[in-house]
Amino acid sequence: MTNYQFHLSRIVQPNFMLLQVLKHLFKRFCMVSSMEKTLVGILLFCLMGNPVKAQISPPGLGEANTAFWSAFGVKRQLDSLGKKQSLSYIALGRKSSPDNDNLFSKQAIFVLNHEVYHSFAPHQQYSYAISYRRQPVYEDAAPYEKEGLEQEIRLYGRYAYTFTLGKRLKLKNTIRQEFRKFFDPDFNPVEENFQLRTRLKTQLTYNLSAKNNQKLAVSAEGLFSISYLHEPEPQWTAFGYRELRLGVYYMVNIPNSPFTVDIGYVNDLIRNSRSITKGGVHYLAADLVWNLPYKKK
């Protein structure tokens, strides 16, 4: 895991980090087929043609080499002071098989999410949310055919504290507690009945330019969980560390419009997985958010 430690010198030089990530993405991009290159090229052209702020982080998509995450959200201001807001989004994920790098190869997840935020004190914010997720399950051995479908209802709460480090830097630390309930396609219980998961995240955001509110963010998030199993007999698993997710995002407002966009890269390091021996799962992420102002009823 020492290959993924953050060094202070790279955090305070986000442009250098972004260059390194883009070089890595380019190498991955060169390995996929011409069809995938065309699709990714069209997507990025559309996003960059309309200058790009939101950041809907991708979920874990299981075993893969590469993955793609895309979301569309609606953010609404709930009060005139700008302290309360909601974010609702719909999202899709695709991923490769464990033996190739085609990030559009298989359907990975479908997500509906609604979250309400409240900035209740200077530098402090809490939120609560409900989420529905629908995720195919694939065989562990080649040719990795689909063998089932799992549904999830998720409830979670989040608390965040933000430190201002000078004029351009902000450090945001977040703790998020989740309750995850799992079902089969007919909403019957599955082997893993439910899970309690704790997520600890730190994110450093650098204001690149006031023009279009351009920002660069680097983050690290650790995930810890305990599950209650329905089969083969009811029992609790051990609480422990499960994943580490490292991310880099570029964020910018679209001028003369209510929209913001993020383009990001995430490296998901899953404990005891096959993918971690290859450097983890590499995500390309893009999301668009429509910002709605407060309207007095």
Per-residue model confidence (pLDDT) at position 286: 96
Cα–Cα distance, 48 to 234 (Å, whole number): 51
How far, CA to CA in Å, does 146 sit from each of 66, 138, 184?
A: 18, 4, 14
Q: Would you say residue 101 has pLDDT above 60?
A: yes
Amino acid residing at 251: M
Examine residue 248 and state whether it is found in any structural domain, yes or no.
yes
Examine residue 285 and state whether it is found in any structural domain, yes or no.
yes
Q: What is the three-class DSSP state of 214? A: strand
The overall pTM is greater than 0.75: yes
Q: Average the pLDDT over each of 16-20, 75-79, 90-94, 259-263 and give the range with the smallest value.
A: 16-20
Q: What is the three-class DSSP state of 223? A: strand
26 band by pLDDT with thresholds 50, 70 and 90: very low
Amino acid residing at 196: L
Examine residue 269 and state whether it is found in any structural domain, yes or no.
yes
Examine residue 6 and state whether it is found in any structural domain, yes or no.
yes
Per-residue model confidence (pLDDT) at position 154: 98
Q: How far apart are the first and last CA of the chain?
A: 53
Q: Would you say residue 27 has pLDDT above 70?
A: no
Per-residue model confidence (pLDDT) at position 6: 38
267 band by pLDDT with thresholds 50, 70 and 90: very high
Q: Would you say residue 194 has pLDDT above 60?
A: yes
Q: What is the mean pLDDT of the chain?
A: 84
Boundaries of domain holding 144: 2-291
Examine residue 297 and state whether it is found in any structural domain, yes or no.
no
User: Could you tell me if 124 and 164 are in contact, meaning their C-beta atoms sit under 8 angstroms apart?
Assistant: no
- In the chain, what percentage of residues exceed pLDDT 70? 81
**What's the domain count of the chain?**
1
49 band by pLDDT with thresholds 50, 70 and 90: very low
Examine residue 244 and state whether it is found in any structural domain, yes or no.
yes
Q: Would you say residue 4 has pLDDT above 60?
A: no
Q: Would you say residue 102 has pLDDT above 90?
A: yes
Q: What is the three-class DSSP state of 47? A: helix
Per-residue model confidence (pLDDT) at position 282: 96
- What's the CATH code of the domain at 249? 2.40.128
33 band by pLDDT with thresholds 50, 70 and 90: very low
- In the chain, what percentage of residues exceed pLDDT 90? 68
Q: Would you say residue 37 has pLDDT above 70?
A: no
Per-residue model confidence (pLDDT) at position 144: 84
Per-residue model confidence (pLDDT) at position 218: 97
Q: Would you say residue 270 has pLDDT above 50?
A: yes
Cα–Cα distance, 281 to 268 (Å, whole number): 5
Examine residue 141 and state whether it is found in any structural domain, yes or no.
yes
Examine residue 296 and state whether it is found in any structural domain, yes or no.
no
155 band by pLDDT with thresholds 50, 70 and 90: very high
